[in-house]
Structure 1
Amino acid sequence: MLNQNEILAVRKLFKQFTLHVLGEKVITACENVSFVLRRGEFLGLTGPSGAGKSSVIKCIYRTYLATSGSIIYSHRDGRETDLACAPEREIIRLRRLDIGYASQFLKVMPRVPALDVLAGELRKKGWDMEQAGERAGEYLKMMNIDRTLWDAYPSTFSGGEQQRVNLARALITEPRLLLLDEPTASLDHETKQIVVRVLTEAKKEGTSIIGIFHDLDAMHCLVDRVFVMRAGRCDDAEVRREVI
């Protein structure tokens, strides 16, 4: 059971993939991964490529189904849900109401304007069309997306613009838990500063965040603690290291 200052506990998380097209070859993505995320904390997840960072994030969001272990999420009212084995209906509800996720790549329906991409997330929560559109405009402005692009398709945007739209889509529902996969990757200095500022503000407002980073400069501007993964594992001593 989590205490009142904790929102998430990952315990002995283990994820394997069986590659049927390669003669049932088994690949271990992560094993025995354990950490706790405090309320309002930003935890940085780093380590070499292939260390299992994205697999951990995807198991939390339930894009991947954990092979074993538990992922305990604490609700506003103190109830707890194990995301590793919760019914799909509950996972969908939590994604709509509580848990945001921004991957490295923007994936949206084709021919949907940027404004509607964001407004659609609010419509899922019951917002009316006009209010959702207004709030979507505020977030696009906050992310410094030019007003002339709001009614354009994100597929025509630059990589940096797409990344900011992706992050805005994850933030617009004001999630309690936000999962980020390389939020500052391949961004120029000015754009990176926008993203750092927006994430800093989200943290100040109480959002608990886990972010994967290879950009160590950006990571140290944002996170409270660093979780270092190597070959699918983590050294407990490194999990506890505070960022100064």
Structure 2
Amino acid sequence: MNDTILTVQGLSKKFTVHILDKKTLHGCDNVSFAMKPGEFMGIAGPSGSGKSTIIKCLYRTYLPSGGSVWYRTKDGREIDLVTAGEREILELRHSEISYVSQFLKVIPRVSAVQILAEELRERGWNAEAAQERSYELLRMMNIDAELWDAYPSTFSGGEQQRINLARALITEPRLLLLDEPTASLDNETKKVVIRSLLALKQKGTTIIGIFHDLESMRSLVDKVFTMRAGQCKSIKRMREVV
């Protein structure tokens, strides 16, 4: 595993649905792949095929039912994200692993610039520098200046998604997990997001993203992991995908 940052082996997640007489549903089953630093993998497949389950298991939003997820930290430690304790997972989320969902979860009555500046303040930036950097990111994400001091809870879906992505860019994580990063975005903003993600990739960030937008995926990913009914049907280099 020395040349990889992430090694997933036999990852499985089962859900017990109590209102359906404890019926067992398979979110994903026996999923395996490996990622190198700076590699970008897209996960494709129809709705309900298990794409989001994989991402949430990697981030430990879901506790996997089986398998292992070996992550190599910045200091060279190998940690199984399946069995790691909650405190260790929280530390990794703060310092090395980021997740961008389709939905923005923020504290009400906190402005867009405050959301970003707070992320920087937690990482040692002084108040003035944090605010200036937040303005730069909002400008880069094509957020209108009149919205910088407004509350993202009132933003459109596309604007909220851009705030989500700006937060990920602030942290410059070693592993970035994306759930439909280009959903709800206009073409110009998609180009901005694609450039930003490619810049992170070039800096060595390993990225795994769920996509329905094939054109965006072509611009970003090195390989495509295709899911059907919770299982991997193929892993191909992007150039092999028609």
- TM class by shorter chain equals over 0.9
Question: Could you say which residue in structure 1 is the equivalent of 2:238?
Answer: 243
- Of 165, 168, 178, the match for 2:166: 168
Question: Could you say which residue in structure 1 is the equivalent of 2:50?
Answer: 52
Tell me the TM-score normalised to structure 2 length: 0.95
Within-5 A mapping of 1:47-196: 47-196=45-194
C-alpha displacement at 1:65, in angstroms?
Answer: 0.3
RMSD: 1.2
Post-superposition CA distance 1:42-94 (Å, at most 9, x none): 10110111010000000000100001111110012221111111000001000
Question: Could you say which residue in structure 2 is the equivalent of 1:202?
Answer: 200
SS at structure 1 position matched to 2:135: helix
SS at structure 2 position matched to 1:172: helix
Q: Which amino acid aligns with 2:179?
A: D
Higher deviation after alignment, 113-122 or 209-218: 113-122
C-alpha displacement at 1:126, in angstroms?
Answer: 3.3
| 8 Å contact from structure 1 (residues 96, 124) kept in 2 | no
Q: For the residues of structure 1 that align with 2:88 and 2:125, how far apart are their CA atoms? A: 21
Tell me the TM-score normalised to structure 1 length: 0.94
Q: For the residues of structure 2 that align with 1:125 and 1:191, how far apart are their CA atoms? A: 27
SS at structure 2 position matched to 1:21: helix
Q: For the residues of structure 1 that align with 2:111 and 2:198, how far apart are their CA atoms? A: 27
Q: For the residues of structure 2 that align with 1:14 and 1:159, how far apart are their CA atoms? A: 31
Q: Work out the number of aligned pairs and report it.
A: 239
SS at structure 2 position matched to 1:227: strand
Which structure 2 segments of 5+ residues have no match?
none
C-alpha displacement at 1:124, in angstroms?
Answer: 2.8
Question: Could you say which residue in structure 2 is the equivalent of 1:3?
Answer: 2
Post-superposition CA distance 1:111-136 (Å, at most 9, x none): 11001111222233333333322222
Q: Alignment identity in percent?
A: 62
C-alpha displacement at 1:224, in angstroms?
Answer: 0.5
